[in-house]
Amino acid sequence: TKLFQFNKFDTACSKCFGTGIELVPDVRKVIDYDKEIKDIPFKNWQSSYKDFYNQILILFCNDNNIDIETKFGDLNLETQDKLLYGISNKKYKINYKLQSKKRVKTAQFIGPMKELENIVKPTEKEKKYYSQRVCSTCKGLRFSEKTLSYKIYEKNLGELYTLQINDLINWINKYKNNWQQSSIERVAFIQILAFLEKMVDVKLEY
Protein backbone atom coordinates (compact mmCIF):
# COMPACT_ATOMS: atom_id res chain seq x y z
CA THR A 1 0.00 0.00 0.00
CA LYS A 2 0.98 3.66 -0.22
CA LEU A 3 1.72 3.66 3.51
CA PHE A 4 4.75 1.45 2.92
CA GLN A 5 6.45 3.35 0.08
CA PHE A 6 9.58 5.26 1.11
CA ASN A 7 9.47 7.48 -1.99
CA LYS A 8 6.23 9.15 -0.96
CA PHE A 9 6.22 12.46 0.92
CA ASP A 10 3.79 11.29 3.61
CA THR A 11 5.58 8.02 4.38
CA ALA A 12 9.25 8.88 3.80
CA CYS A 13 11.49 10.07 6.62
CA SER A 14 11.10 13.84 6.90
CA LYS A 15 14.84 14.31 7.46
CA CYS A 16 16.39 12.33 4.59
CA PHE A 17 13.33 12.20 2.30
CA GLY A 18 13.53 8.41 2.03
CA THR A 19 17.20 8.08 1.09
CA GLY A 20 18.38 6.76 4.46
CA ILE A 21 21.31 9.17 4.45
CA GLU A 22 21.79 12.84 5.24
CA LEU A 23 24.33 15.45 4.28
CA VAL A 24 26.25 17.12 7.09
CA PRO A 25 28.78 19.96 6.79
CA ASP A 26 32.31 18.56 6.87
CA VAL A 27 34.81 20.91 8.51
CA ARG A 28 37.67 19.08 6.77
CA LYS A 29 36.27 20.15 3.42
CA VAL A 30 35.80 23.77 4.48
CA ILE A 31 38.99 24.89 6.23
CA ASP A 32 42.35 25.80 4.75
CA TYR A 33 44.42 25.62 7.94
CA ASP A 34 47.46 27.33 6.39
CA LYS A 35 45.64 30.50 5.37
CA GLU A 36 45.64 33.60 7.52
CA ILE A 37 42.26 34.89 8.67
CA LYS A 38 42.53 38.02 6.51
CA ASP A 39 42.81 35.79 3.43
CA ILE A 40 39.58 33.89 4.27
CA PRO A 41 40.56 30.33 5.25
CA PHE A 42 37.05 29.04 4.54
CA LYS A 43 36.62 27.48 1.10
CA ASN A 44 32.86 27.97 0.97
CA TRP A 45 33.47 31.72 1.31
CA GLN A 46 35.80 31.83 -1.69
CA SER A 47 32.92 32.80 -3.96
CA SER A 48 31.57 35.79 -5.83
CA TYR A 49 30.69 37.19 -2.37
CA LYS A 50 34.32 37.01 -1.28
CA ASP A 51 34.54 40.78 -0.78
CA PHE A 52 31.51 40.72 1.53
CA TYR A 53 32.82 37.76 3.55
CA ASN A 54 36.27 39.30 3.83
CA GLN A 55 34.91 42.48 5.35
CA ILE A 56 32.44 40.93 7.76
CA LEU A 57 35.08 38.42 8.88
CA ILE A 58 37.57 41.18 9.69
CA LEU A 59 34.96 43.22 11.56
CA PHE A 60 33.91 40.19 13.61
CA CYS A 61 37.56 39.42 14.41
CA ASN A 62 38.18 43.02 15.49
CA ASP A 63 35.22 42.84 17.87
CA ASN A 64 36.50 39.57 19.33
CA ASN A 65 40.19 40.43 19.54
CA ILE A 66 41.19 37.82 16.95
CA ASP A 67 44.42 38.54 15.08
CA ILE A 68 43.55 38.44 11.37
CA GLU A 69 47.20 37.84 10.45
CA THR A 70 47.19 34.48 12.25
CA LYS A 71 46.85 31.22 10.33
CA PHE A 72 43.62 29.45 11.13
CA GLY A 73 45.53 26.34 12.19
CA ASP A 74 47.46 28.36 14.78
CA LEU A 75 44.35 29.58 16.57
CA ASN A 76 43.25 27.84 19.77
CA LEU A 77 40.24 25.54 19.51
CA GLU A 78 37.90 27.97 21.25
CA THR A 79 38.70 30.72 18.75
CA GLN A 80 38.43 28.33 15.81
CA ASP A 81 35.01 27.26 17.04
CA LYS A 82 33.91 30.89 17.44
CA LEU A 83 34.86 31.66 13.84
CA LEU A 84 33.31 28.51 12.42
CA TYR A 85 30.03 28.46 14.34
CA GLY A 86 29.72 31.90 15.92
CA ILE A 87 26.92 34.40 15.37
CA SER A 88 27.54 38.05 16.13
CA ASN A 89 25.34 39.92 18.60
CA LYS A 90 25.15 42.88 16.27
CA LYS A 91 24.76 43.58 12.57
CA TYR A 92 27.48 45.05 10.39
CA LYS A 93 26.99 47.44 7.49
CA ILE A 94 29.12 46.14 4.63
CA ASN A 95 29.99 48.07 1.48
CA TYR A 96 31.22 45.50 -1.01
CA LYS A 97 31.55 44.75 -4.69
CA LEU A 98 29.70 42.00 -6.48
CA GLN A 99 30.48 41.49 -10.15
CA SER A 100 32.10 44.94 -10.27
CA LYS A 101 28.97 46.60 -8.86
CA LYS A 102 28.89 48.34 -5.51
CA ARG A 103 26.48 46.86 -2.99
CA VAL A 104 25.49 47.61 0.60
CA LYS A 105 24.24 44.99 3.04
CA THR A 106 23.56 44.96 6.77
CA ALA A 107 23.98 41.52 8.29
CA GLN A 108 25.06 39.50 11.29
CA PHE A 109 28.25 37.51 11.14
CA ILE A 110 27.32 33.83 10.80
CA GLY A 111 30.25 31.40 10.81
CA PRO A 112 30.81 29.31 7.67
CA MET A 113 29.92 26.01 9.34
CA LYS A 114 26.81 27.47 10.96
CA GLU A 115 25.88 28.90 7.56
CA LEU A 116 26.14 25.44 5.99
CA GLU A 117 24.10 23.90 8.82
CA ASN A 118 21.30 26.37 8.10
CA ILE A 119 20.99 25.31 4.45
CA VAL A 120 17.97 23.03 4.11
CA LYS A 121 18.80 21.63 0.67
CA PRO A 122 22.38 22.21 -0.55
CA THR A 123 22.94 22.94 -4.23
CA GLU A 124 25.24 20.73 -6.27
CA LYS A 125 27.96 23.33 -5.85
CA GLU A 126 27.48 23.43 -2.08
CA LYS A 127 27.46 19.64 -1.67
CA LYS A 128 31.25 19.48 -1.96
CA TYR A 129 31.43 20.91 1.57
CA TYR A 130 29.27 18.12 3.00
CA SER A 131 29.73 14.43 3.77
CA GLN A 132 27.15 11.68 3.92
CA ARG A 133 26.15 9.81 7.05
CA VAL A 134 23.33 7.52 8.09
CA CYS A 135 20.21 9.58 8.71
CA SER A 136 20.05 10.60 12.37
CA THR A 137 16.24 10.50 12.39
CA CYS A 138 15.34 7.18 10.75
CA LYS A 139 18.75 5.52 11.36
CA GLY A 140 18.93 4.58 7.69
CA LEU A 141 15.51 2.90 7.58
CA ARG A 142 14.12 5.55 5.20
CA PHE A 143 10.51 5.55 6.41
CA SER A 144 8.58 7.97 8.61
CA GLU A 145 8.13 7.25 12.29
CA LYS A 146 4.47 6.39 11.68
CA THR A 147 5.29 3.83 9.00
CA LEU A 148 8.06 2.28 11.10
CA SER A 149 5.59 1.80 13.96
CA TYR A 150 3.93 -1.04 11.99
CA LYS A 151 5.65 -4.37 12.55
CA ILE A 152 5.32 -7.93 11.37
CA TYR A 153 6.95 -10.65 13.40
CA GLU A 154 8.84 -8.06 15.47
CA LYS A 155 10.37 -6.21 12.51
CA ASN A 156 9.28 -3.06 10.68
CA LEU A 157 9.56 -2.62 6.92
CA GLY A 158 12.68 -0.48 7.21
CA GLU A 159 14.50 -3.20 9.11
CA LEU A 160 13.48 -5.78 6.51
CA TYR A 161 14.70 -3.58 3.66
CA THR A 162 18.16 -3.37 5.19
CA LEU A 163 18.62 -7.13 5.57
CA GLN A 164 20.84 -9.07 3.17
CA ILE A 165 18.67 -11.27 0.97
CA ASN A 166 19.89 -14.51 2.53
CA ASP A 167 19.13 -13.10 5.97
CA LEU A 168 15.67 -12.06 4.78
CA ILE A 169 15.01 -15.57 3.46
CA ASN A 170 16.06 -17.01 6.81
CA TRP A 171 13.78 -14.54 8.61
CA ILE A 172 10.80 -15.57 6.44
CA ASN A 173 11.48 -19.26 6.98
CA LYS A 174 11.82 -18.72 10.71
CA TYR A 175 8.13 -17.81 10.85
CA LYS A 176 7.00 -20.24 8.15
CA ASN A 177 4.72 -22.17 10.48
CA ASN A 178 3.02 -18.91 11.44
CA TRP A 179 2.39 -17.39 8.03
CA GLN A 180 1.29 -20.67 6.47
CA GLN A 181 -1.67 -20.60 8.84
CA SER A 182 -2.94 -17.32 7.32
CA SER A 183 -4.38 -17.36 3.80
CA ILE A 184 -3.44 -13.68 3.25
CA GLU A 185 0.11 -14.01 4.58
CA ARG A 186 0.70 -17.33 2.86
CA VAL A 187 0.13 -15.98 -0.65
CA ALA A 188 2.27 -12.90 -0.02
CA PHE A 189 5.18 -14.73 1.62
CA ILE A 190 5.27 -17.48 -1.01
CA GLN A 191 5.57 -14.86 -3.75
CA ILE A 192 8.23 -12.91 -1.87
CA LEU A 193 10.20 -16.05 -1.07
CA ALA A 194 10.14 -17.17 -4.71
CA PHE A 195 11.40 -13.77 -5.83
CA LEU A 196 14.22 -13.72 -3.26
CA GLU A 197 15.33 -17.25 -4.09
CA LYS A 198 15.42 -16.31 -7.77
CA MET A 199 17.73 -13.41 -6.93
CA VAL A 200 20.03 -15.76 -5.06
CA ASP A 201 20.03 -18.12 -8.08
CA VAL A 202 21.27 -15.30 -10.33
CA LYS A 203 23.89 -14.21 -7.77
CA LEU A 204 22.13 -11.00 -6.73
CA GLU A 205 21.81 -11.85 -3.04
CA TYR A 206 23.87 -8.78 -2.07
Backbone angles phi, psi at 115, to 5 degrees: -60, -45
Q: What is the pTM of this model?
A: 0.74
Whole-number pLDDT of residue 54: 96
Q: From first to last of the 206 residues of the chain, give the pLDDT tens digit.
A: 566 776 777 889 988 888 999 999 999 999 999 999 999 999 999 988 999 999 999 999 999 999 999 999 999 999 999 999 999 999 999 999 998 899 999 999 999 999 999 998 899 999 999 999 999 999 999 999 999 999 999 999 999 988 999 999 999 999 999 999 888 899 999 999 999 999 999 988 77
Whole-number pLDDT of residue 168: 94
Whole-number pLDDT of residue 95: 95
